Amino acid sequence: MAGKGDKPAKADKSAAVAKSGKGRKKETGLGLTNTKDGNFGEWYSEVVTNGEMIEYYEISGCYILRPWTMAIWEIMQNFFDPEIKKMNIKTCYFPLFVSNNVLQKEKDHIEGFAPEVAWVTRSGDSDLEVPIAIRPTSETVMYPYFSKWIRGHRDLPLRLNQWCNVVRWEFSNPTPFIRSREFLWQEGHTAFATKEEADTEVLEILELYRRLYEEYLAVPVVKGRKSELEKFAGGLYTTSVEAFIPNTGRGVQGATSHCLGQNFAKMFEINFEDEKGEKAMVWQNSWAYSTRTIGVMVMVHGDDKGLVLPPKVAAVQVIVVHVPYKDADVKEIINACSATVKTLCDAGIRAEADLRENYSPGWKYSHWEMKGVPLRIEIGPKDLANNQARAVRRDNGAKVDIPMADLVDSVKGMLDTIQQNMFDVAKEKRDACIQVTKTWDEFIEALGQKKLILAPWCDEEEVEKEVKAKTKGETGAAKTLCSPLEQPELPEGTLCFASGKPAKKWTYWGRSY
């Protein structure tokens, strides 16, 4: 997907071009020119633009998030935000800018990230006296105030979350949602008196991330723990949910929940007086999910007709299209469509009608398929006469006639079925890619076949580094994705696939985004 970010407004829908059988290009109003299996990178770029989620922007790595995207983001927010509020986590907002002073405070771990920090150096014609950084994450922005606000044990726990944008000036190939220079996320930052409380929260948040992926985006994920090499260097341990893209054979970190331990408490002097009147240091966590979630969903479910949106996150769950017929009463059909939309909306279903007269029904079918709307309802003269409607599923193309009498129940049932089916199909595909490998040769073979590898591992950093070095090729090195929290049985005497030493755990390996 090289140089994707450098293509402004690449896929102009009105002039979309489709390849015919002989590889010649023909003009069509709609449709993708690339297939998911044929050229995944180009396919993805076309899907997010033609599906009206993304518009390419003139600054590489930055993308316009269109309403079709933001509706999904808001629905996810409407799930996640109340859940963390139930946990007594409060909303806050800290400034976008960080002073050099504060940013450098956590020098040790910022070092590796430094090249990605963007700076403001000028206002108008004059240079700033001291440049200020744009937040790449907010530890250094927030923790000086944690230090100020936390005095005694009664000030704990302190549990904050903010919804914001962050900037990381990435240099490797930008990809909409998956790797962009500015992105939206929530970042949670919490402080506790005890490690036990922090540990509990890490897993509670991780479970919310799993639910976000599995219940909303219909994307199966593995909950796991990161290796020492892959964890957030500033923290104690990192957990994550990991997704997998079968077409590219790459893992993708879906969201992370870190226990920071007391590292930042030391650096920022976040101390409190405990119940015995003694000075103690807080235990901290931080956790985030970003707009990357949406990219993972598009990659997993999209097909050669475009986006396929899970009903629970789709801005429009049902699109109603009228199918006029020469001598039929068009007005009557249109009225039936409007009535259908009203009935569905009154029942809490997100439905819209496309009653435009300057587009054919066929064009509309393609258009809404491209946009991934889960269910299409067609109403023509025959349906009207029979007091029924034709429903067509986006996920599998299945068509059924539903009696108008039980429209709401049928549609609700179908949307639930689509949601479940999308998850089941995605899980089946993901599971079919999982390969258990016990030797190096098996590992290399599986890697070549784009598998998601599950292997017994000695859990030694040096061994992971070696595996990385040995697999470094054009498509990137293999690394650990996570060690699943739910560990399969590891029989006595099982050896590490890479080092031959006794294995300590099962770990997922693969190339990744």
Shortest Å distance, C-beta 164 to ligand 87F: 11
Tell me whether residue 187 or residue 369 sits nearer to ligand 87F (CB atom). Answer: 187
Shortest Å distance, C-beta 480 to ligand 87F: 17
User: Which among 136, 140, 220, 125 is positioned nearest to 170, based on CA atoms?
Assistant: 136
Shortest Å distance, C-beta 166 to ligand 87F: 8
Q: Is 460 helix (H, G, I), strand (E, B) or coil?
A: coil
Shortest Å distance, C-beta 479 to ligand 87F: 16
Rg, the chain, Cα only:
26
Q: Is 426 helix (H, G, I), strand (E, B) or coil?
A: helix
Shortest Å distance, C-beta 404 to ligand 87F: 50
Shortest Å distance, C-beta 439 to ligand 87F: 34
Q: Please state, in angstroms and rounded to a whole number, the distance separating the CA atoms of residues 29 and 13.
A: 7
Tell me whether residue 49 or residue 190 sits nearer to ligand 87F (CB atom). Answer: 190
Tell me whether residue 117 or residue 280 sits nearer to ligand 87F (CB atom). Answer: 117
Q: Is 46 helix (H, G, I), strand (E, B) or coil?
A: helix
Tell me whether residue 76 or residue 288 sits nearer to ligand 87F (CB atom). Answer: 288
Tell me whether residue 49 or residue 257 sits nearer to ligand 87F (CB atom). Answer: 257
User: Which among 377, 364, 380, 376 is positioned nearest to 332, based on CA atoms?
Assistant: 380
Tell me whether residue 258 or residue 322 sits nearer to ligand 87F (CB atom). Answer: 258
Q: Rounded to the nearest 5°, which phi and psi values hold at 126?
A: -105, 140
Longest C-alpha distance within the chain, in Å? Answer: 88
Tell me whether residue 49 or residue 512 sits nearer to ligand 87F (CB atom). Answer: 512
Tell me whether residue 253 or residue 317 sits nearer to ligand 87F (CB atom). Answer: 253
User: Which among 511, 506, 513, 491 is positioned nearest to 437, based on CA atoms?
Assistant: 506
DSSP 484-503: ESSPPP--TT-B-TTT-SBP
Question: What are the C-alpha distances in Å from 254 to residues 177, 225, 494?
Answer: 12, 13, 30
Q: What count of other Cβ atoms lies within 10 Å of the Cβ of residue 270?
A: 23
Shortest Å distance, C-beta 144 to ligand 87F: 16
Query: In the structure, how many helices (H) and strands (E) does the chain have?
Result: 14, 25
Tell me whether residue 259 or residue 415 sits nearer to ligand 87F (CB atom). Answer: 259
Q: Please state, in angstroms and rounded to a whole number, the distance separating the CA atoms of residues 245 and 450.
A: 10
Our CA angle for 513, 177, 108, nearest 5°, is 60
Cα torsion at 352, 356, 357, 359 (round to 10°)?
-110
Q: Please state, in angstroms and rounded to a whole number, the distance separating the CA atoms of residues 95 and 135.
A: 8
Q: What count of other Cβ atoms lies within 10 Å of the Cβ of residue 251?
A: 24
Q: Please state, in angstroms and rounded to a whole number, the distance separating the CA atoms of residues 270 and 322.
A: 63
Shortest Å distance, C-beta 507 to ligand 87F: 20
Question: What are the C-alpha distances in Å from 33 to residues 26, 54, 370?
Answer: 10, 17, 12
Q: Please state, in angstroms and rounded to a whole number, the distance separating the CA atoms of residues 378 and 148.
A: 61
Binding region for ligand 87F (CB under 6 A): 110, 113, 116-117, 136-137, 139, 168, 187, 232, 256, 258, 286-288
Shortest Å distance, C-beta 135 to ligand 87F: 9
At 459, list the tokens.
């859990």
219 close to 296: Cβ distance less than 8 angstroms = yes
Shortest Å distance, C-beta 117 to ligand 87F: 5
Residue at token pair 């929260």: 201
Helix (H) or strand (E) run with residue 389 in it: strand 388-393
Tell me whether residue 179 or residue 393 sits nearer to ligand 87F (CB atom). Answer: 179
Tell me whether residue 143 or residue 506 sits nearer to ligand 87F (CB atom). Answer: 143
Shortest Å distance, C-beta 305 to ligand 87F: 35
The helix, strand and coil proportions of the chain, stated in percent and rounded to the nearest 5, come to: 35, 30, 35
Shortest Å distance, C-beta 276 to ligand 87F: 32
Tell me whether residue 136 or residue 251 sits nearer to ligand 87F (CB atom). Answer: 136
